[in-house]
Amino acid sequence: MHRAANTAVYAWSNIVGPVMIRQCLKCRVPPQMSARAYSVVPTPHDSEEKEMLHRILRVDHAGEYGANRIYAGQMAVLGRSSTGPLIQEMWDQEKVHLAKFNEILAESRVRPTALLPLWNLAGFVLGASSALLGKEGAMACTVAVEESISEHYNSQIRALMEKDPDRYTELLQIIKEFRDDEIEHHDTGLEHDAESVPGYWLLKNAIQLGCKAAIYASQRI
């Protein structure tokens, strides 16, 4: 009888103990910490930081959106050729990037750039016209754009690291990952005879100038 009571108490405390502790852990997770756990971007301390973070996110979102449209334009022309699958693969990765930025923008309540319709059109036209120059043209366009984007991501990473690497860990991780993907696209473009297009130097620099202008505009508008 006594032993039965003992085992009953022992069993009860075994069950209740972990449940209580789990409930304990749930009870008062500091709201700031729980927000950090689920959001990539830390809550800004002041309006300066908010402005900086919003600019970064806005221009990155615009960049991924533009890249998407460029690949869409290239696929529209070269979709059924032998380079189709290659471009499709790169496009799919860009779609993943865009989805991630859409998520971040929504949860941080960042205003998207008002020039999106412009990038929509310009990106598609750029992709399609570069693809009309053939596979090498499309690859040259890819090389130029991806080089611009990875340079841009690098400068953002530098800026965030200078400010406070610990505070922006998740954001830095995401930007680094995306930058590595873009560099991979750049290398793929080079591998597939981007440099053999006539007027490569001119084409590359013109596209990169356009990208710089786009980045400048999207940060502000």
Partner 1 sequence: MTQLLYKKTTLSAQRNMAALLRALRAGRALRGLGSVGAAPAAAQPLCCSLTRGFHRAALRLQDESKSEKPPSSSTTYHEHYQAHSAEQEAAGAPQEHSATEPAAEEASRPNTSYQDQSGEQGEEYETEEQLQARILTAALEFVPLHGWSVEAIAAGAETLGLSSASTGMFYNGAGDLVLHFVSQCNSQLTDILAEQHNQVQLGQAEPKKTAEFLRDAVETRLRMYIPYIESWPQAMSILLLPHNIPDSLKHLSTLVDDMWYYAGDRSTDMNWYTKRAALTGIYNTTELVMLQDSSPDFQDTWDFLDNRIQDVVNMATTAKQVQATGETVVQGLIGAAVTLKNLTGLNQRR
Angstrom CA distances, 96 to 7, 14, 177, stand at: 55, 45, 12
The stretch near partner 1 (CB under 8 A) out of 17-25, 72-80, 129-137, 213-221 is: 17-25
Closest distance to partner 1 from the beta carbon of 76 (Å)? 16
Q: What are the φ/ψ torsions at residue 53 (nearest 5 degrees)? A: -60, -40
Q: Does the footprint of partner 1 cover residue 162 (CB under 8 A)?
A: no
182 annotated as a binding-site residue:
yes
Q: How far apart are CA 121 and CA 126, in angstroms?
A: 9
When asked if residue 81 is in the footprint of partner 1 (CB under 8 A), the reply is: no
- Residue 80 binding partner 1, by CB under 8 A: no
Query: Comparing C-alpha atoms, which of 131, 126, 140 is closest to residue 193?
Result: 140
Tokens, residue 123: 């990106």
- Residue closer to partner 1 by CB (options 6, 13) is 13
Question: What residues contact 138, with CB distance under 8 A and at least 6 apart?
Answer: 74, 77, 78, 83, 87, 127, 130, 131
- Rule CB under 8 A: is residue 50 a binding residue for partner 1? yes
Minimum CB distance to partner 1 smaller for 3 or for 28: 28
55 binds partner 1 (CB under 8 A): no
Q: Which residue carries 């202008």 as its tokens?
A: 213
Residue 157 to residue 168: CA distance in whole angstroms: 10
Residues in contact with partner 1, shown as a per-residue x/- string from 128 to 157 under the rule CB under 8 A = ------------------------------
114 near partner 1, rule: CB under 8 A: yes
**Strand, coil or helix: 168:** coil
- Our finding on whether 161 is near partner 1 (CB under 8 A) is no
* Chain contacts with partner 1 (rule: CB under 8 A): 13-14, 16-17, 20-21, 23-25, 27-32, 35, 43-47, 50, 61, 101-102, 105-107, 109, 111-112, 114, 116-117
